[in-house]
Structure 1
Amino acid sequence: MALIYMRKGVMDDLDAIMEIIDSAKALLKADGSTQWQDGTPNREILLNDLRHGYVRVLVVDGKIAGTATLMTQKDPHYTKIYDGEWDDNKDRYATIHRIALSTKYRGMKLSKFFFSNLISDTYAQEIYHMRIDTHELNLRMQKLVSYFGFNYRGIIYVKTGSEGKRLAYELNMVQ
């Protein structure tokens, strides 16, 4: 059995994180998705996430196997939602962004382990609401968020135009 855990990312993790992000971009492209095909997320964005303490990494036997950004302040992209509404619009929430797993660890069901840890981390911070968005062609992420009880809430835009359209999901945990 491998030693698997999640921890906060540090600056020394940046190269490994970028390698994972780049392989995820290639996978999304192969799936026909335009998500992450515009150059983002890039090194500058991830460096900023690290500086703010938002990055979480999944570690398997001492190697970084996954990365995610777990933000705990309001996301301006979530202010306006179309064709739906947030279930909870008043309480504090965390947002999962830029989540990806290394191709070296695919098939180990690590995405479920990682998601569970992200939810636990949020709960431990006494934040009981989570949000996430994904491209409509990212079926893997849609399946994963549904598995964890995230409910589809509507459409948000991360940038103008059809390329910025994202499906928005929300999870409300009981205290």
Structure 2
Amino acid sequence: MSNIYMRSAQPADLDQIMTIIDQAKALLKSDGSSQWQDGHPNRATLTEDIAQHHCWVLIVNGQLAGTATLIVGEEPTYQEIQAGNWVDTQHPYATFHRIALSADFRGERLSDYFFSNLISQAYQQGVRHLRIDTHEQNQRMQHIVGTFGYQYRGIIYVNPTPDGKRLAYELNLD
């Protein structure tokens, strides 16, 4: 059994985080997705995530194996949802962003550990409502969120272009 845990990302992790993000960009591109092909997320975004204590890393046997951003609070791009609606609009929620696993650990089902830990971290912070979005071509993420019980809620836009269209999901733990 592997030694697997999640911890808050530190500035010293940034180079490894960027390597993982770059691997994820390449994987998305090979899958035919335009998600993350515009230069984002970039080093400045991840530096800010770390500084704000929003960035988390998955550690497997002492190696950095994944990264994700967990933000508790309003997500501006979620204020308007099309072709659906959020079920819970009264309570605080957490959003998962910039989730990526190292190519060195691909196929080891680490997304299960990571999502479980992220959900637990949000829960520990008193949050019972979770949201996430993904590109309609990102079948991998759609599968993962479905596995964890997220429900499709509609469409949001991360920018006003057709490529900014994202499928929005919600998980309510209450």
Q: TM-score, normalised by structure 2?
A: 0.99
Where does residue 152 of structure 2 map in the other structure? Answer: 152
Question: What CA distance in whole angstroms lies between the structure 1 residues aligned with 2:170 and 2:67?
Answer: 20
**In structure 2, how many angstroms separate the alpha carbons of the residues matched to 1:75 and 1:90?**
14
Aligned to 1:115: 115
Q: Which amino acid aligns with 1:161?
A: T
Identity percentage of aligned residues: 57
Quote the residue 1:36 is aligned against: 36
Aligned residues: 174
User: Is the counterpart of residue 171 in structure 1 residue 171 in structure 2?
Assistant: yes
Letter of the aligned partner of 2:133 in structure 1?
D
Q: Which residue in 2 is equivalent to 1:74?
A: 74
**1:90, distance to aligned residue in structure 2 (A):** 1.3
Residues 5-30 of structure 1, C-alpha deviation per residue, up to 9 Å, x if partnerless? 00111101100000000000000000
Letter in 2 for 1:89: T
CA RMSD of aligned residues (A): 0.5
Q: Equivalences for 1:1-175 in 2 at 5 Å? A: 1-174=1-174
List gaps (5 residues or longer) in structure 2.
none
CA drift at 1:161: 1.1
Residue 58 of structure 1 and its aligned partner are, at CA, apart by 0.2
Q: Displacement, 1:2?
A: 1.6
Q: Secondary structure at the match of 1:13?
A: helix
Structure 1 unmatched runs, 5+? none
Deviation at 1:73, TM superposition (A): 1.3
Taking structure 1 as the reference length, what is the TM-score of the superposition? 0.99
